[in-house]
Amino acid sequence: MRYMITKYFRRLALLVWLMSTLTGVAQEVSFSATAPKVVRNGEQFRLTYTISGDFSQFSAPSMDPFRVLSGPNQSRSSNFEFRNGKTTTSTTTTYTYWLQAVETGSFTIGPASIQVSRKQSMQSDPVEIQVVAGKASQGTRQPAAAPSRHATSSASRPANQDVGEIGDESLFVRTEASKNKVYIGEQLVVSQKVYTKVNLAGFGDISFPNYSGFWAQEVDIPDRINLERVALNNQVYAMGELKRTVLFPQKSGKLTLEPSKVEVIAQVQRSQQSRRSTGDPFFDSFFNDPFFNSRTANVPVNCVSEPVTITVLPLPEAGKPASFGGAVGKFSISSEIDKTSLNVNEAITIKYRVSGSGNLHLIDLHEFRFPHDFEVYDPKVNRNITTTANSVTGAVTFEYVMIPRNAGIFTIQPVELAYFDPAGERYVTLRTETYEITVHKNPTPDSDAMVYSGLSREEVKLLGEDIRYIKTGVSGFYHPDASFFGTRAWYKWLVLIFVIFLILFILFSIRRKNRADQAGMKNRKATKFAKRRLAQAATYLKANQIESFYEEVSDALWGYVGDKLNIPFSVLNTEQVKEKLASSTVPDMVIERFLSLVAQCDYARFSPGDLGSGMQAVYSDAVQIITQLEKYLKKAA
């Protein structure tokens, strides 16, 4: 009897332990509804509600104006997962309705609801469905596996296959722009899409336009195309996006997006010839049935999209700020400083950050007004720009290191950012805050040493503690008849002369090495010299000095490639540049843009006529091209 009681309690304890592990972690409840976004009138489709987790009651909404053919059909599945000594149970319940569209239009099925607990209920999202005209027998089937945009098919067109079987309305390519009218510098999104009513096996040759007149930034999208049901011209298609690009127009006027050319490998059903008679009517009718008497053929179809015209408006002259530098979009500016009280010769850092959405690649802060008593080093510019699905966003940071050389109270004036807001069609001017800097004298009289530029960032940090004045005061006098040889002062002068000689030797060695490597020096300073010339060109642009502007831009372009590619000026020509850039893995499109811009500048310099209207676009193109060349040439180095 005692043994039976002990055995009973052991089993009871084991059961309690199992129950505690099976209810280890409560599952979070989720509730969703799915249905096709577009259907044809008369088409049957499925509406599914999926519930993950425990609930007590499901309440369906009204399905009007759709006809309910069946439902709700309920199914339930459970999943057990053992982790860290505990078992987690997840339960999924689905309610399925089969509906039929009975009229055209856009309709919304309201949210369904479930009871999670006594005091808590949950609703699904409403379902929006567009019903278009058409017969249900013309069903658009989405391929089971979406094709890759880079895939090619080895199947050739059958000899007796006519591409005319696939009509223009069944398979085509479209170029779609988010806007048809924009300002210079305003971003727009252009998508290349394929629309189909037939299954697709893949793609052959694809040719996209170069977007002449635009600065282009491609958006990363998956290689495998995600086909989705859409309505177009009152028809239902499976649509897949081949390419998406953010464009920034660089000149005004009507700009045309050239057609895309895409070879699409379509799958079509082809009927075969009837089998030879077997003599048995039953078997003849069975094997000659169309279901058994057809096969799938891969057919290459060449699709060409229609060109799209974009109207580009010039930026208005009325209300244009003097500090405007071409920024178009929506931006904000902020600043921060690491200290406002310091000693003479201590380093101070100030950062300006411009963030927002638009042509961030053209953002450049000008008109800095730092105190004359501050030695200011070249800024460190960091561009953190991201291309999202619908825009180019990010931030540009300008970091300045300064060293005050005299004591006093100084004011750092606000930095001004002017940009054009295309949404509001107006210019916006932003300013940073004003900083007041208190610079104290150093506690020791020999600590106010003057230090000149040419140092690295790490060396700047040590300036406040490592640099000192050379004492100029005379500490004592010697008698004229006193012997100088062998004294302590004599040895000090001997060591000093040796150190000076060593320093001069090192400096001359470095200078001789740099002169020997003139090509390397020119390569390293090519971008710096190009920026100087472009800054001068910007001055001519504001003053509307057309000839001087084009001459300076041309010198910046030719000088940059000449120094960067080590081409002597005497043999610098388009053939040399094209050959050198191509060998440095620079894309042909970038090379052609460079040569085209150089030719445009030379034409403007030596041809009569008013070419002032395109100066802003030329300046923007020059900045972009030098930036792109620097990126590719750095990779090739």
Please check the confidence at residue 413 and state whether its pLDDT lies above 80: yes
Please check the confidence at residue 306 and state whether its pLDDT lies above 80: yes
Question: How far is CA 600 from its chain centroid?
Answer: 29
Average pLDDT over residues 135-162: 43
- Select the more confidently predicted residue: 65 or 223: 65
Residue 165: the pLDDT is 60
pLDDT digits (tens, 9 = 90+) for 1-44: 555 555 555 555 555 455 444 444 455 788 888 888 888 888 88
Pick the range with the lowest mean pLDDT from 27-31, 132-136, 191-195: 132-136
pLDDT digits (tens, 9 = 90+) for 535-588: 888 888 888 888 888 888 888 888 888 888 877 765 677 777 888 888 878 888
- Extract the tokens encoding 559: 């000088």
Residue 58: the pLDDT is 85
CATH 2.60.40, the chain: domain bounds: 22-137, 163-312, 329-461
Residue 205: the pLDDT is 86
- Cα gap 52→198, rounded to integer Å: 35
Please check the confidence at residue 444 and state whether its pLDDT lies above 70: no
CATH 1.20.120, the chain: domain bounds: 518-636
- Extract the tokens encoding 58: 């499901």
**Cα Rg for the chain, rounded, in angstroms?**
37
Residue 64: the pLDDT is 85
Q: What are phi and psi of 495, to 5 degrees?
A: -65, -40
**Structural class in CATH, domain 329-461:** mainly beta
User: CB–CB of 175/257 below 8 Å?
Assistant: yes
pLDDT digits (tens, 9 = 90+) for 98-109: 888 888 888 888
pLDDT digits (tens, 9 = 90+) for 486-508: 677 777 888 888 889 888 888 87
Question: How far is CA 565 from its chain centroid?
Answer: 29
pTM beyond 0.85, yes or no: no
Residue 485: the pLDDT is 63
User: CB–CB of 93/114 below 8 Å?
Assistant: no
Question: Which amino acid is residue 8, in one-letter code?
Answer: Y
**Structural class in CATH, domain 163-312:** mainly beta
Average pLDDT over residues 369-396: 85
Peptide bond preceding 72 in cis form (omega within 30 of 0):
yes
DSSP 8-state assignment for residue 328: B
- Cα gap 463→349, rounded to integer Å: 14
Can you say whether residue 263 is alpha, beta or left, with left for phi > 0 and alpha for psi between -120 and 50 degrees? beta
Residue 395: the pLDDT is 92
Q: What are phi and psi of 235, to 5 degrees?
A: -125, 155
Q: What are phi and psi of 68, to 5 degrees?
A: -85, 115
Collapse the DSSP code of 628 into the 3-class scheme (helix H, G, I; strand E, B; otherwise coil) and give the result.
helix
- Cα gap 203→205, rounded to integer Å: 7
Kindly list the distances between the CA atom of residue 342 and the CA atoms of 26, 372, 385, in Å, as whole numbers in the listed order.
58, 17, 34
Is CATH 2.60.40 the classification given to domain 22-137? yes
Residue 333: the pLDDT is 92
- Extract the tokens encoding 311: 């109207």
- Extract the tokens encoding 595: 């040569």
Q: Per DSSP, what are the bridge partners of residue 600?
A: none
User: CB–CB of 451/463 below 8 Å?
Assistant: yes
- Cα gap 367→364, rounded to integer Å: 10
- Select the more confidently predicted residue: 526 or 230: 230
Residue 147: the pLDDT is 59
- Share in percent of the chain as helix, strand, coil (round to 5): 30, 35, 35
Closest to 363 in 3D by CA, of 579, 623, 123, 580: 623
Count each helix (H run) and each strand (E run) in the chain, helices first.
Answer: 10, 31
Pick the range with the lowest mean pLDDT from 430-439, 446-455, 495-504, 541-550: 446-455
**What count of residues does the chain have?**
637
- Select the more confidently predicted residue: 101 or 89: 101
DSSP string, 272-292: PPPPPP-S-HHHHHHHTSTTT
Q: Taking the chain, what is the end-to-end CA distance rounded to the nearest angstrom?
A: 90
Task: Kindly tell me the burial class for residue 532, based on how many C-beta atoms sit within 10 Å of its own C-beta (0-12, 13-18, 19 or more).
Answer: middle
- Cα gap 561→626, rounded to integer Å: 9
**Can you tell me which residue has the tokens 């009218």?**
181
Share of the chain above pLDDT 90, in %: 11
Helix runs in 484-587, H state only: 488-516, 518-543, 546-565, 574-583
Question: Other CB atoms closer than 10 Å to residue 538's CB: what's the count?
Answer: 20
- Cα gap 39→128, rounded to integer Å: 11
Q: What are phi and psi of 405, to 5 degrees?
A: -105, -15
- Extract the tokens encoding 560: 């940059």
DSSP 8-state assignment for residue 524: H
Mean of per-residue pLDDT scores for the chain = 77
Peptide bond preceding 249 in cis form (omega within 30 of 0):
no
Q: What are phi and psi of 406, to 5 degrees?
A: -135, 155
CATH number for 518-636: choose from 1.10.10, 1.10.1400, 3.10.150, 1.20.120: 1.20.120
Please check the confidence at residue 321 and state whether its pLDDT lies above 50: yes
- Cα gap 161→343, rounded to integer Å: 86
For 355, residues 6+ apart whose C-beta sits below 8 A from its C-beta are 331, 332, 333, 334, 394, 395, 396
- Select the more confidently predicted residue: 50 or 83: 50
Closest to 200 in 3D by CA, of 271, 157, 149, 132: 149
User: CB–CB of 172/303 below 8 Å?
Assistant: yes
